[in-house]
């Protein structure tokens, strides 16, 4: 508790003054902990939203890839390459966001 005053001599602060100062320090530490918890919760929520969007988009890309491969089998290799590149890009965004948070 860096904000507590040093006791230079006996009786320099009354017990009530020390108790009030200690109570303020405890309240400050609790408030800081609550803010840090809320901030971490918001970070987790943001990452979850990005991951969910990437999962849904990957599912859609994969479904479209399957449909197009069934319609144009001769383009399968190209379609798979494009789908894989898109999904890898989305994964890269999710991973990058995790590192930035």
Q: Is the pLDDT of residue 25 over 60?
A: yes
Between the alpha carbon of residue 86 and those of residues 21, 49, 75, 101, the distances in Å are 58, 18, 17, 23
Centre a 10 Å sphere on the Cβ of residue 8 and count the other Cβ atoms it contains.
7
Work out the mean pLDDT of the chain and round it to a whole number: 88
Give the start-to-end residue ranges of the domains of the chain. Answer: 15-100
Q: Is residue 3 a contact partner of residue 25, using CB atoms and an 8 Å limit?
A: yes
Q: pLDDT: is 4 or 34 the higher one?
A: 34
In the DSSP assignment, the letter for residue 2 is T
> What is the chain's percent helix, strand, coil content, to nearest 5?
85, 0, 15
Stretch 77-97: mean pLDDT, rounded?
A: 96
pTM of the model: 0.67
Q: pLDDT: is 95 or 4 the higher one?
A: 95
């Amino acid at each position: 508790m860096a904000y507590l005053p040093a006791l230079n001599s006996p009786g320099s602060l009354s017990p009530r003054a020390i108790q009030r100062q200690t109570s303020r320090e405890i309240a400050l530490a609790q408030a800081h902990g609550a803010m840090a918890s809320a901030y971490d919760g918001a970070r987790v929520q943001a990452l979850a939203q990005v991951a969910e969007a990437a999962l849904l988009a990957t599912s859609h890309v994969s479904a479209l890839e399957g449909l197009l491969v069934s319609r144009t089998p001769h383009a399968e290799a190209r379609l798979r390459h494009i789908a894989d590149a898109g999904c890898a890009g989305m994964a890269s965004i999710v991973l990058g966001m995790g590192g930035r948070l």
